Chains A and B, each alone.
Chain A
Amino acid sequence: MKLSRRARLLVLFAVPIALMSIVRLWSGEDGLTSSDTIGASLRLSVPILLAGLAGLWAERCGVLNIGIEGMMIFGTWFGGWGAWQFGPWLGLAFAVLGGMLGGLIHAIATVRFNVDQIISGVVLNLLAFFGVRYMSDLAFVGQPGGGVSQSPPQTSAIPRFDVPFISGGDLFGWKSPNVLLSLEDSGWFFIGDLAGILYGLTNNLSWGTVIGVAAVPATFWILWRTRLGLRLRSSGESPTAAETLGVNVIRLRYVGLLVSGGLAGYAGGILAIVASSYYRQGQTAGRGYIGLATMIFGNWRPIGVLGGASLFGYTEGVKLVANDAISTLFLFVALAAVLLAVMAVVNRTTTRGIVAVFVSVIAAYAYLAIEDVPQSLTQSLPYLATLIVLATASQRLRPPAMAGVPYRRGESH
């Protein structure tokens, strides 16, 4: 079966939605594709997405970044503090600056002094964790609602909006019709689900979220379509060759890490300003590491990171909004695997077919046998998924060749 690129993309989008729809109608769990779930998934995806992009920028310029979590912690603190002091927009700006501070520390240690990149990242995480505690002690203790582990609540928020015409948004004071919501409420096969997903993505949107998602095309455009991007990626692939061609590898690694820190800081800012209205200790909750996982999952590419972050965010969203629906995801996996098995038969790829049948049987069994999945175990899904991807598809992954290798000007031979 040969399909054109456009047709393949269409199939890639339509088939999972159709499967979701079948699962929804079969099990009666509306939560799978409801706009509430999708909205929550979007909100939960964005910090992970930005953390993943932060990892991508760092590794593309040749520096491993275990310190994303620490940079995010700086982001939550500075964001929470800035938003409390000067309002949400300046808060987001402070979050970015806080993250960049983390990026700068990482850059000085690894690029200037050639400290082991993993060690520097680990130490940065420790420094951020305890550093913000010290600063909370000074800035928040004694303030109304504040303390050593949280900031006083912010009084204003980043504005939210509905997209006009399709999700009932206002247009110059005129309330436009809410097409998607009425379609979702119809509950029709496929159309209802598609409308639910789109409505979830287009209603009650925060501008902070929109800017966060815009980082994906921006990253792609800068890294793959500009001269700066080419040079930056070349410092990650082959710094000596880049240097020979007159590229300032050291400076570009500083740039890459500052952008990385800024993105991670923004991710933290989202958590402290958009997803909640105050800074709280432990707000990042390991999302920096999930971001790292997403980067691997997405094969060091922006679209891949987007896919990984959506997947992890979606499982979180389902857990949050419709926890009972979690087990129906097994049914989805089973059906998807059946489909893959059929395709394998058509394409005559036997091994893949056998694997697909195997997965399908297991997932179907899990769906029938497991009443409800313990919340404690579903938490580890992103981490488990990353290990599985690494174990099974590592041949297909292509990390930047020289990420992790310290580079000193003029010491190559």
Chain B
Amino acid sequence: MAKNRNVIDALPRPVVTLLSSLVAILLALGICGLLLLVTGKDPIAAYRTILETGLTGNKLLEMLKRSTPLMLSASAVAIGFKMNLFNIGVEGQYLFAALIAAEFASRISAPPVLHVLLTLMVASAAGAFWASIAAMLKVTRGINEVISTIMLNFISLSVMQWLFDNYMRDDSDGGLRVTTTEIAPSGQVPDIVDGRLNGVWLVALFVVFCYWLIVFRSKFGFRLRSSGLNSSAAQTSGIAANRMIVVAMLLSGAIAGLVAMQSVVGEEYAYGPQATPTGFGFAGIAVALLGRNHPVGIVAAAMLFGFLDSTSAVLQLSGIPNSIVKVIQAVVVLTVVIVNEATARYMNRRTAEQTAAALRADKVGA
């Protein structure tokens, strides 16, 4: 055991991080395997089916497609995390933005590219607007953003239902269509691979890149991260905490606004309570945690989730309930946060021990 520790002790920090994530995923697969076994299913067969179907060309494209909203949602959550803000409200923000953007896009007419750009901008603005309520409540009244965004998620749903039922529903078809009016072709984003992968995927990748640029490479990002790590130290060095909260929350909401855009401008060309996918706000939290708020990690985690999701239809056909895929995802996140915590504690102790050893050596030398 002591020998093993020495091996790990010598590893550089990023390798330990990567290793711990792998351990967490294996642990989760083990737990879910056990669950499958207990419930009378063959875990080996299930995992083999997942791998065999997932690694075919079409399924890999589906994986990319499914990763789009996850990358966006995870980036939105991660920006908050970096500032020590927990935006649970991505769910409400993106759905609200989807409705507003879809309605906006169906009402304007503009040349092809501009139409899409305007729609995306409106979506971002709507998401940021909804997030700004939580930001304002936090800055002016000191309300914890966790509570306020949870409440705002529900308020968002009822406001949307009211807007949709009374003002935005398409009633041209005798009330048969339960969506907003369809967006004109100029506002539709074409597929990269026909029927398999939509152009919005590139937008998502670009947003993750921007996330990296803003948070890890800009002066603003430095301030954001230092406020997140130690808000009082940051404030002492002249960073206005309240301003950072508002800006971070607005950015988070702006990215969140884009989450459903693949569906709105790439697939359905409208918003609809049934047509627009829900649940990505919470899935995004999971992906951000799995990817440890790092852009590369977010992309990888979104791909992993997309990969698992893409296999679920085939899994059902081979006699294994496809809901196991979602269970695996949830368990992965649970084990990842637990292992992360254990790793962080280990790294702290290691740093302390190594520093102490270095100091001792220094003294002996002197």
Contact = CB atoms under 8 A, between A and B. Distances in A.
A122 B151 contact: no
Interface in B271-290: 282-283, 285-286, 289
Nearest to B288: A119
A127 B333 CA distance: 9
Interface string A197-233: 0000000000000000000000000000000000000
* A interface secondary structure, majority: helix
Contacts of A387: 137, 143, 148, 151-152, 155
B141 A394 contact: yes
A122 B148 contact: no
Given A66-B146, A126-B282, A386 B327 contact: no
Interface residues of A, number: 44
B150 A134 contact: no
A384 B147 CA distance: 12
B134 to A, nearest CB: 10
Contacts of B165: 374, 376
Given A113-B342, A134-B324, A138-B321, A386 B147 contact: yes
B147 A131 contact: no
B236 interface: no
A324 interface: no
Interface string B144-158: 001110111011011
A243 interface: no
Nearest to B41: A138
A368 to B, nearest CB: 21
A114 B346 CA distance: 13
A120 interface: yes
B166 interface: yes
Nearest to A114: B341
Contacts of B329: 126, 130
Contacts of A135: 39
Interface in A105-164: 105, 109, 113-116, 118-120, 122-127, 130-131, 133-138, 141, 148
Contact of A127 (B40, B285, B327): B327
B221 to A, nearest CB: 22
B338 interface: yes
18 contacts: A113-B338, A116-B337, A118-B88, A123-B289, A124-B334, A127-B334, A130-B323, A130-B326, A134-B323, A136-B323, A292-B150, A379-B154, A379-B157, A380-B157, A383-B152, A387-B148, A390-B141, A390-B147
Interface of A: 66, 105, 109, 113-116, 118-120, 122-127, 130-131, 133-138, 141, 148, 286, 289, 292-293, 296, 374, 376-380, 383-384, 386-387, 390-391, 394
Interface of B: 35, 39-40, 86, 88, 137, 141-143, 146-148, 150-152, 154-155, 157-159, 161-162, 165-166, 282-283, 285-286, 289, 321, 323-324, 326-327, 329-331, 333-334, 337-338, 341-342, 345
